[in-house]
Amino acid sequence: MKKENADLKPSYSVPNLERGLLIIELLATKKRGLTLSEIIQTLSISKSSAFRIVNTLIFKNYLQKNETTKKITLSRKMLTLGISSMNEQSLVEMSIDVMRAMRDELKESVMLGVILGDKGTILEQVSSSYPVKLSVELGTQFWLHSSVGGKSILAFLPKEESNQILKGKNLTKFTENTIVSKKAFIEELNNVRELGYAVDNGEDIQGIHCIGAPVFNEYGYPVASVWITAPHGRLPHEEFDAKGKAVAKYAMEISHKLGYIDN
């Protein structure tokens, strides 16, 4: 037995790398984060080693620290790596049946997207059942401030993360309805949180309306957004609330399939 265990142990090991991976694995289970002292206590790592490793990971943008609470969490960079992996393996697979049911009820094209970097990317779509329909190529990128995909996710991200994504960004005007004021956009995100869904009132393309809602993973983190898109005549303002609640319902179905449990 001892011989087998010895064979499984790598010939060469890097202790600080192993400790760094342990810290990342620990923080992946603590969405609210841990202080340095809590990390040290949980993993029984020396204070000096933990300090050096954590600060290196913060410097390389894999971890982030809230200077007020002193809590350390996984950064957007680390979460993006996880999302990129999950996209290919499970997110689309878990979403596609729900997206089809959503299309069957609402009749419009349904799209699924995520935030990667400072833009969004469309992962999957289900075409409208109407003869005239809106469709895009998979992998198409979208702006965060003028899209329901961007609004839905940004509204439910931890405030520090959403602020970091928006920091220094110009809110480009695409139509007369595009929100270009940071203050107005923050108010819009507050409204999305309150309603549970986001609306694109022809803010990206004139005459095209969209309604979307966030998709959460098992930790309550908004990993994606699902939405419908249609010409304004088929998706008028007076239907926004009813359709928004329906979209939010389907988004929550996907969230449950990803392991999310309602509070």
Alpha-carbon distances, residue 194 vs 46, 55, 89, 96, 145 (angstroms): 44, 36, 32, 27, 18
What the block records as the tokens of 143 is 């702006």
pLDDT digits (tens, 9 = 90+) for 203-227: 999 999 999 999 998 888 999 999 9
Q: Which residue has the higher pLDDT, 11 or 15?
A: 15
Return the pLDDT at 9.
52
pLDDT band at 6 (very low <50, low <70, confident <90, very high): very low
Sorted by where each starts, the structural domains of the chain and their CATH numbers stand as 2-74 (1.10.10.10), 77-257 (3.30.450.40)
Asked whether residue 242 carries a pLDDT value surpassing 70, the answer given is yes
Residues 6+ away with beta carbon under 8 Å from 88 = none
Is the per-residue pLDDT at 118 higher than 50?
yes
Higher pLDDT, 132 or 84: 132
CA angle 76, 220, 244 (to 5 degrees): 105
Residue 5 pLDDT greater than 50, yes or no: no
pLDDT of residue 82: 59
Q: How many angstroms separate the CA atoms of 235 and 241, rounded?
A: 11
CB 225 within 8 A of CB 112: yes
Tell me the per-residue pLDDT of 148-174, one tens digit each, with 9 for 90 and over: 999 999 999 988 888 888 887 889 999
Q: Taking each helix axis as running N to C, give the angle between helix 159-166 and helix 76-86, from 0 to 180 degrees, rounded to the nearest 10.
A: 90
Burial class (CB in 10 A: 0-12, 13-18, 19+), 75: buried
Whether the per-residue pLDDT at 7 is higher than 60: the answer is: no
pLDDT value for 28: 82
Evaluate if residue 102 carries a pLDDT over 80.
yes
pLDDT of 4 over the 50 cut: no
**Distance between CA atoms of residues 167 and 82, nearest Å:** 23
| pLDDT value at residue 247 | 98
Rounded CA separation 39/34 (Å): 6
Residue with tokens 């990128």: 141
Q: Is the pLDDT of residue 89 over 90?
A: no
